[in-house]
Amino acid sequence: MSPLQGPRRFLPKIAMLGSLVIVLGLLALVTVRSNRPASISGALARGLTPDAPRFVLPRLDAEGTIDLAALRGKVVVVNFWASWCPPCRLEAPALEATWQRYRDRGVVVVGINVQDLVPEAMRFLKETRTTYPVVRDRDIATYRAYGVVALPETFFIDRDGRIVEKFRGGVSDPQKWCEAVERALARP
């Protein structure tokens, strides 16, 4: 055996070990990232009420921004949506009805538009006759902070800024919206 054959026979093992380290590193990264967004869902499943991630986002439907912290003291319903999302369109009337019914009782509905083009989003608002405030999450940082998995997704935030409930997927039954808002209003 020549002196070079000894180290060469380890090359396949070194390459395999290097590949394994890369794969394990990627798995660790995916696990850490996927566990972070799941923290809100996990906390709610354990009966906890996590703090709502703060956002300051530009309004889509008017000038200015909406700062979640400025809404402290009110119940806030945060709905993530996009114009291309059929369930978003189906639940829009129930969400608007909730806004109309509860806005005089200190409830604010905020729509957060994501992964959308502005003209299409504006057309959606006009077609669905949406009157509650709507903001745009251009870089989907808020979407990620809330751990949104698919659209639509809605979060109910109590007066203290804590998430008390969420709906994953479209909910077109106005009664379910009202019940969730009533539970949030009933919290001390």
pLDDT band at 42 (very low <50, low <70, confident <90, very high): confident
Does one domain contain both 54 and 15?
A: no
Tell me: do 133 and 86 sit in the same domain: yes
Q: What is the pTM of this model?
A: 0.78
Residue 12 has pLDDT above 90, yes or no: no
- Is the domain of 25 the same as that of 87? no
Residues 55 and 115 in one domain: yes
Q: 96 and 167, same structural domain?
A: yes
Q: Are residues 9 and 93 in the same domain?
A: no
Position 172 scores a pLDDT of 83
Is 155 within a domain? yes
**Three-state SS across the chain?**
CCCCHHHHCCHHHHHHHHHHHHHHHHHHHHHHHHHCCHHHHHHHHCCCCCECCCCEEEECCCCCEEEHHHHCCCEEEEEEECCCCHHHHHHHHHHHHHHHHHHHHCEEEEEEECCCCHHHHHHHHHHCCCCCCEEECCCCHHHHHCCCCCCCEEEEECCCCEEEEEEECCCCCHHHHHHHHHHHHHCC
In tens, the pLDDT along 110-133 reads: 999 999 999 999 999 999 999 999
| Each residue's pLDDT tens digit, 94-104 | 999 999 999 99
Total domains in the fold of the chain: 2
Is the confidence at residue 38, as pLDDT, over 60? Answer: no
Quick one: average pLDDT of 34-57?
81
Which pLDDT value is given to residue 45? Answer: 85
